[in-house]
Structure 1
Amino acid sequence: MSDVTIFAPSPTLTVTVEEHGGEPDIHVHAGGQGVWQARMLLRLGASVTMCCTLTGEVGGMLRHLLEDEGIGVAGLERPGRGSAYVHDRRGGHRSVIAETEGEPLARHDLDELYGLTLREGLESKLTILSGPAGDEALPSDTYRRLAADLREGGAKVVVDLAGERLAAAVDGGVDVLKVSDEELIRGGLVENESVAEIMKAMRTLHQRGADAVIVSRATDPFLLLDAQGFAEVTQPRMAVADTRGAGDSLTAGVVSAMARGERPRDAVITGAAAGALNVTRHGLGTGDAEAISKLRESVTVREIIDDSAAHISQPVTGHVSPDGLAALARPEDER
């Protein structure tokens, strides 16, 4: 039994061409959101089983790559065209040579993958629901059903999703939802990136079924809402090599701490450190556990007092009494 189960419907075979010593240097890896999360979880000492489809020749290669990294694979093998891409980075930026999202899951394949995920998720008691390679891979409602069924069986559910898949999972009920401010805008959940607007959306998501909500904000401090209220989490600022995968490392860091029994409010410290370290590397979802442990010391978490009716939203460093809250709610000239 693994510490964490990851639902990753369609992992991607990645082929990246770089340059070393004036010659092409070709790298072949497993990729995609669920893979990046699994990779970071392994670095942080958690064991992982990935529930996924392994399609055609691409799928056969993906199984070997995943298992070589130490990721357990509960895979549904099927014929067809799997998700893959070829990128050229020799010019200092990514140029797309070829890419495919692969083929959508047929009904019977989806049923089999759903059953695999329930079995593994109920055994591990902690499951991440991650997104597929393409929008057409599977119905969004799959995430609602999986979230509801896993929680009904006593498992904790963490989701890192956007759009219709995010909405579906929240309707099913989740323990932790992680989403970026950009994804909230694209999904029409906020009109702008202001803290007040984001906090309003977080309240709505919390009321709909997300016990804890984490919103990442690029280089700005990210926000947390749970049963205790709002908090602002500030990560150490690192020199950026590649920002891709930082959000997935954040999610993996949170989940690794939850697997050790921490509450989301405490687990975000590891998540913040893992996300910060990931941007210093070209390998997505990679990092050194000792370095992440050291970076935890540079993460700050500040409680945010929020009284929406009084239009108050400000960070505080400690406990505030009811009298103090009342004072904050009064107009400035009455204080």
Structure 2
Amino acid sequence: MSDVTIFAPSPALTVTIEDHEAGPDIHVHAGGQGVWQARMMRRLGASVTLCCVLTGEIGRVVRDLLENEGFTVAAVERSGRGASYVHDRRGGERLPVAETAGDAIGRHELDELYGIALREGLDSGLVSLSGPDGDGTLPADTYRRLAADLREGGARVVVDLSGERLLAALEGGVDVLKVSDEELRDDELLDGDEPEAVLEAMARLRARGAGAVVVTRASEPLLLLDAEGAVEISPPRLEAADTRGAGDSLTAGLCAGLALGESLRDAVTLGAAAGALNVTRHGLGTGETGTIERLREAVRARTLSRGDGAATPHLSPGDLAALASDTNPTERDDR
């Protein structure tokens, strides 16, 4: 039994071409949101089971790559086209050469995958629901049903989703929702860039089914809203080599902390440190554990408002004003 189960419906085979003094340097890995999360979780000491559909010859290669990294793979195997991409990064930026989301997951395969994810998730007690690259890979309602059934069975559910999948998971109910402010604006769930507008949107998400909400804001401090109130969390700012995957590393660090027995407010500081380190690297979901722990010492948490310990905490005009400016904030190290 693993510490964390990740619902990663359609992992991808990734091929990246790098520049090298001796010629092109070609890297082949398993990838996709759930895999990047799993990679960071394992580095932070949490064991992981990946629940997925593996398709065709690409799926066979992906299984070998995942198992060689030390993950437990609980998969449905089928024929067809698997998700994959080839990126050329020799010029410093990612240039897509070829990309495919692969074939959609059929009804019978989805039923089997659902049963596997439910079994493994209830065994581990902590589940991260991640999304596929393709919008048409599986119905969004899968996330509603799976979140509801997992929580009914006593498992904690963390989601890092957007769009229809986010709304579906909220309807089922989740323990922690992680999302970016950009994704909220794209989904018309956030109107404006001001911190108070973000907190108001987070309160609405809690009212719709999230126990706690974490919102990342690019280079700005991230925000956490739970039943205890609102917290601003500031990771160290490091020079970025590649910002892709930073949010997944944050989610992974949060899950790893929860799996290891930390409170959510402690776990999110581990996630913030993992996300901060990931931007300095070209590999997604990577980073040395000792460095992450050192960076965690530099993460600062500041309490912005106090909740009532029940449902959505009330955010007074004074609370919102404290967030918008630095006047008389309540300082607290939440690590």
Name the TM tier (shorter chain).
over 0.9
1:207 and 2:207 matched: yes
Give the superposition deviation at 1:317.
Answer: 2.8
Task: Output the CA distance in 1 between the equivalents of 2:315 and 2:172.
Answer: 27
RMSD: 1.2
Q: Is the 8 A contact 2:14 2:30 kept in 1?
A: yes
Counterparts of residues 164-183 of structure 1 (less than 5 Å): 164-183=164-183
Q: Does 1:35 align with 2:35?
A: yes
Supply the AA of the counterpart residue of 2:56: G
Structure 1 equivalent of residue 264 of structure 2: 264
Range that drifts further, 250-259 or 305-314:
305-314
TM-score by length of 2: 0.93
Counterparts of 1:10 and 1:29, CA distance in 2: 14
User: Which residue identity does 1:178 align to in structure 2?
Assistant: K
CA offset digits 1:87-124 (Å, max 9, x no partner): 11111111111110001111001000000000100000
1:102: which partner in 2? 102
Equivalence map 1:1-335=2 (5 Å): 1-305=1-305, 308=315, 310=317, 312-313=319-320, 314-315=322-323, 316-318=329-331
Contact 2:304 2:319 in 1 (8 A): no
Instruction: Supply the AA of the counterpart residue of 1:317.
Output: T
Which structure 1 residue ranges, 4+ long, deviate > 2 Å from structure 2?
305-312, 315-319
Q: Deviations over 1:72-99 (max 9, x none)?
A: 1001100000000011111111111111
1:298 is paired with a residue whose SS is coil
Matched residue count: 319
SS in 1 for 2:19: strand
Code of the residue aligned with 2:205 in structure 1: it is L
Does structure 2 retain, via aligned residues, the 8 Å contact 1:226–1:265? no
Q: Percent identity?
A: 63
Paired with 1:318 and 1:89, the residues of 2 have a C-alpha distance of 43
Q: Which moved more, 1:299-308 or 1:155-164?
A: 299-308
- Cα deviation for residue 308 of structure 1 reads 4.2
The one-letter code matched in structure 1 to 2:92 is G
Distance apart, 1:62 and its partner CA: 0.2
> How much does 1:192 deviate?
2.0
Give me the whole-angstrom Cα distance separating, in 2, the residues matched to 1:308 and 1:271.
Answer: 25
Q: CA contact under 8 A between 2:252 and 2:271: conserved in structure 1?
A: yes
Counterpart amino acid of residue 52 in structure 2:
C
Using the TM superposition, give the Cα deviation of residue 263 of structure 1 relative to its aligned residue in structure 2, in angstroms.
1.7
Q: Which has the larger radius of gyration?
A: 1
CA distance in 1 between counterparts of 2:14 and 2:260 reads 32
Unmatched 5+ stretches in structure 2: 307-313, 324-328
Letter in 1 for 2:317: A
- SS of 1:39's equivalent in the other structure is helix
Report the 3-state secondary structure (helix = DSSP H, G, I; strand = E; otherwise coil) of the residue aligned with 2:2.
coil
Task: Please report how far the alpha carbon of residue 234 of structure 1 lies from its aligned counterpart in structure 2 after TM superposition.
Answer: 0.2
* C-alpha distance in 2 between matches for 1:202 and 1:40: 26
Structure 2 Cα separation of the partners of residues 318 and 196 of structure 1: 18
- Asked if the contact 2:161–2:178 (Cα under 8 Å) also holds between the matched residues in 1, the reply is yes
Residue 24 of structure 2 aligns to a residue whose secondary structure is strand
Question: 2 CA distance for matches of 1:54 and 1:234?
Answer: 38
- For 1:197 and 1:318, locate their aligned partners in 2 and report how far apart those are by CA, in whole Å: 22
Cα distance per residue 1:150-208 (max 9 Å; x no partner): 00001000000001100110111111000000000000001222211111110011111
Q: 1:154 to 1:308 in 2, by over 3 A?
A: closer
| Counterpart in the other structure of 1:328 | none
Runs (5+) with no aligned partner, structure 1: 320-335
Q: State the one-letter code of the partner of 1:199.
A: L
Quote the offset at 1:310 in angstroms.
Answer: 3.2
Deviation digits for residues 44-77 of structure 1, max 9, x if unmatched? 0100000001000110000000011111100110
Q: CA deviation at 1:231?
A: 0.5
